Structure 1
Amino acid sequence: MSTGKIVSLLAQADIGVYAVSLDQRIVFWNRGAERILGYTAEQVVGRYCYEVVGGVTPGGLTPACQEGCPSLRALQAGSVPRAVEMQLLSISGERKTVPLTTMVVSGAIRDMPIIVHLFESGDWAADRDRAATEVRHELTGSGVDIFSDRAAAAAPVAATDTLTPRELEVLRLVSLSRTTDEIATELGISAHTVRNHVRHFRRKLGAATKLEAVLTALRQGVLDWN
């Protein structure tokens, strides 16, 4: 399923939902998130999540995601991201304490993973688990792969010592859904060279597709935006 179709499913959720790309830029923001925090999608899409919601744990000062996504760190540790209580910054400047559930969701072969955040507040918070379960069932029932649910298995040995700096650079851009031509333009190399790098990192990561290579690299901690 494409990322666009995944977003269409999330738009129907009754609770707050936002999704970010692997470099933590907001790519989706539903009406539930607008109801709770006050920001419209137009105000936040394309911005870094820690610049907008600045989620901190109760009593904390530094946004938990400012030094890298906690969900990705959980995957790299071989564990499933757990629901946590967070204080998110609203448009008024008030911090709202919400239960936050995250999922790393992979799209189709040409669509890279996104990190989905589900949350609710106030009198609605008691319904968060039910609503989050409904969203999960809707996604899996539509053929969406919730990659983070499989992260409990031991992570394989990292391949950072075998990928060249250029291969890592291309892999990073691939993970952000850049096309071959876009990568070639950004790096100042030919499309043929890009395809060679893709072929090399797929082989080194034991991946049949670019998506599989990205998912493997996430689990191994090869991709790092810190």
Structure 2
Amino acid sequence: MSTGKIVSLLAQADIGVYAVSLDQRIVFWNRGAERILGYTAEQVVGRHCYEVVGGVTPGGLTPACQEGCPSLRALQAGSVPRAVEMQLLSISGERKTVPLTTMVVSGAIRDMPIIVHLFESGDWAADRDRAATEVRHELTGSGVDIFSDRAGAAAPVAATDTLTPRELEVLRLVSLSRTTDEIATELGISAHTVRNHVRHFRRKLGAATKLEAVLTALRQGVLDWN
């Protein structure tokens, strides 16, 4: 399933939902998120999540995701990201305490993973688990792979020492759904060279597809935007 279709499913959710790309830029923001925090999609899409919602744990000072996504760190440790209580910054400047559930989902081969956040507040918070379960069933029933539900062993030694700097650059851009031509233009190299780098990092990561390579790299902690 394409990322676009995943977004269409999330748009129908009754609770607050926002999704970020692997470099933590907001790619989707539904009406529920607008109702709870006050920001419109136009105000937040394209910005880093920690610059907008600045989620902190109760009593905390630094946004939990400022040093990298906690959900991705959980995957690298071999665990399933758990629901947590967070204080999110609303447009009024008030911090709202919400239960937050995260999922790392992957779509079709050409669409890279996104990190989905589900939350609710106030009198609606009691319905969050039910609504989150409904969203999960809707996604899986439509063929969406919730990658973060599959806990595994802690990540093996990262392949960073075997991937060249250029291969890492190409891998990062692939993980953000850039096309071969877009990567070639951004890096100032030929499309043929891009395809060679893709072939090399797939082999080194033991991956049959680009999507599999990205998911493996997430497990190993190879992809890092900090």
Q: Which of the five TM-score ranges fits, normalised by the shorter chain?
A: over 0.9
Measured in 2, the distance between the counterparts of 1:169 and 1:11 equals 32
Measured in 2, the distance between the counterparts of 1:41 and 1:70 equals 23
Contact 1:110 1:177 in 2 (8 A): yes
Measured in 1, the distance between the counterparts of 2:201 and 2:97 equals 42
SS of 2:161's partner is: coil
In the alignment, is residue 95 of structure 1 matched against residue 95 of structure 2?
yes
SS of 1:160's partner is: helix
Q: Deviations over 1:165-187 (max 9, x none)?
A: 00000000000000001100110
Q: How does 1:29-48 map to 2 (within 5 A)?
A: 29-48=29-48
Q: Deviations over 1:171-213 (max 9, x none)?
A: 0000000000110011010000000000000000000000000
Structure 1 segments of 4 or more deviating over 3 A?
A: none
Contact 1:151 1:219 in 2 (8 A): no
Contact 1:105 1:145 in 2 (8 A): yes
- Identity in percent: 99
Instruction: Give the structure-1-normalised TM-score.
Output: 0.99
Q: Deviations over 1:4-28 (max 9, x none)?
A: 0000000000000000000000000
Residue 60 of structure 1 and its aligned partner are, at CA, apart by 0.4
Contact 1:68 1:225 in 2 (8 A): yes
Contact 1:26 1:46 in 2 (8 A): yes
Residue 36 of structure 1 and its aligned partner are, at CA, apart by 0.2
Contact 2:77 2:153 in 1 (8 A): no
Residue 160 of structure 1 and its aligned partner are, at CA, apart by 1.1
Q: How many residues align?
A: 226
Measured in 2, the distance between the counterparts of 1:144 and 1:58 equals 32
Residue 225 of structure 1 and its aligned partner are, at CA, apart by 1.1
Structure 2 residue ranges without an equivalent (≥5): none
SS of 2:91's partner is: coil
Measured in 2, the distance between the counterparts of 1:212 and 1:169 equals 17
Instruction: Give the structure-2-normalised TM-score.
Output: 0.99
Measured in 2, the distance between the counterparts of 1:105 and 1:156 equals 21
Measured in 2, the distance between the counterparts of 1:190 and 1:207 equals 23
| Greater CA drift, 139-148 or 149-158 | 149-158
Q: What does residue 141 of structure 2 align with?
A: 141
Residue 154 of structure 1 and its aligned partner are, at CA, apart by 3.8
Contact 2:155 2:221 in 1 (8 A): no
SS of 1:10's partner is: helix
